[in-house]
Chain A
Amino acid sequence: MKPAPFSYYRATSIDDAITALSGADGMAAVLAGGQSLVPMLNLRLSPVDHLIDLRSIAALSRQEETPEAICYGALTTHAAFEDGAVPDGTNGLMRYAASHIAYRAVRNRGTLGGALALADPAADWLTTAVALDASVTLTGPDGQRCLAITDFVVGPYYTQIAEDEIIDSVVVPRRSAAERWGYYKVAPKVGEYAKSLAVALIDPAKASARLVIGAWSDVPLVLKAGASALLEGVKQHDLAVIVQNELDLKMPSLSPAERRLHTSSVVRAAEQARS
């Protein structure tokens, strides 16, 4: 299980990486933490001719704070979130999510940008980013563009990143200090990808609530009816019925067992958030 040959280039700056990407003939890919890409290379499932390594680009490991948001460079590792080594504006939600990604050895290398670029629907960061209304800043030959995460992700393993673009950073709006969150992940084993993943956010003072269900066969879905019910303080059983109806509407392909699973995780996340 060894990769096919590829060329390797360690980019010295974002511009340098873009130039290398634009100039490459054949398939080029950028290397961030490599925790998903390199397994694919080893399995020869990802035909890459040129690998452009981003690790020396200090700008991609930066964090910038503004009153409204925190901007995380694409190479910020899961472990940095887990350890609280980077600023947090989510009342600990990101820290919690990060600490449930795979295993420590993977979290030490794996990055936020890399995870979002892969757009695995079962991954923790994708559903979390949707819940947090994060946006992704892409840099390409024509400069930067910033996409809401829901626009950035087109489908499972499919994003808006153009061939000559890289993720510069992920911008996460600061949540109100009074907001509470719930995070419910159903995984077959500790560290495995989720079979169902729900995130709930509620701030009664601001009359805001958000419910997101992920780790099904498509990209995460925002559940609006469920969120309204959560905000109105609908009791658990009735919330479950509302959520189930919304899932039936938005995810009609679910089997009865899958519908039960996702309904449960949404309701659990919601209950956690308001407990």
Chain B
Amino acid sequence: MKQSVSLTVNDRPVEATVESRLSLADFLRLELRLTATHLGCEHGVCGACTVLINGEPARSCIALTVSLGGDEITTLEGLADDPAMQVIKQAFHDKHGLQCGFCTPGMLISTRDLLKRTPRPSEGAVRDGLSGNLCRCTGYQGIVRAVLKAAEDLAAS
């Protein structure tokens, strides 16, 4: 049961004919080979697959590709030149905000959104704001410190 769909991925128009059951995550990963988006649970809880749909974070594992006609999708790859994302990545490196790296792309995308909505968050706001992105390695301490540093660096820049 295939269906055609046109959408924009990382600023590039994409036309595809896909099975109606194909998730956005699988579409990005398998059809477009954009593998920064990771699948950690496939039922919308862990946050590893978080991407931007029309600029807003969303779980790509529970978004259906066919339902996204006309939408703009942005993955971590599409944010390579985004100035805020560069600052955030640097902060994650500086503050040891990642270990195995599997949750990292989703974590980075959620961080960018959090800092966009709350430019100078408290530690508590960071913890609540990232509660939808699970990390099994870091105990979150490095992540929280990275987000606070990124907030500072972004405010300074």
Contact = CB atoms under 8 A, between A and B. Distances in A.
Contact of A38 (B19, B50, B53, B64): B64
Contacts of A108: 53, 56-58
Interface stretch (A90-98, A99-107, A130-138, A244-252): A99-107
Nearest to A189: B131
A3 B25 CA distance: 13
A34 interface: yes
B121 interface: no
Contact of A105 (B42, B50, B64): B50
Nearest to B106: A105
Nearest to B18: A8
Contacts of B47: 103, 105
B132 to A, nearest CB: 2
Nearest to B43: A39
A5 B44 CA distance: 19
A154 interface: no
Interface of A is mostly: loop
Contacts of A259: none
Nearest to B127: A190
Interface in B4-47: 19-21, 23, 26, 42-44, 47
Contacts of A190: 127-128, 131
SS class, residues of chain B in contact with chain A:
mixed
A190 B128 CA distance: 7
B58 A5 contact: no
Nearest to A48: B21
A4 B21 contact: yes
B1 A5 contact: yes
B63 interface: yes
Place the interface of chain A in its size category: 20 to 34
Contact of B63 (A1, A6, A38, A189): A38
B50 A8 contact: no
A57 interface: no
Nearest to B71: A55
Contact of B1 (A6, A42, A53, A191): A6
A35 B1 contact: no
Given A105-B110, A109-B58, A191-B132, A5 B20 contact: yes
Contact of A35 (B23, B44, B113, B114): B44
B1 A39 contact: no
Contacts of A41: 21
B135 interface: no
A186 to B, nearest CB: 16
Greatest chain B CB density within 10 A among A34, A39, A104, A108 is at: A104
Given A41-B21, A109-B63, 19 more contacts: A2-B26, A4-B21, A6-B1, A8-B3, A8-B20, A8-B64, A10-B66, A31-B64, A31-B67, A38-B64, A39-B62, A53-B67, A103-B47, A103-B131, A104-B113, A104-B132, A108-B56, A109-B53, A189-B131
11 contacts: A6-B20, A7-B1, A8-B66, A38-B64, A41-B21, A104-B57, A104-B110, A104-B113, A108-B57, A109-B53, A109-B58
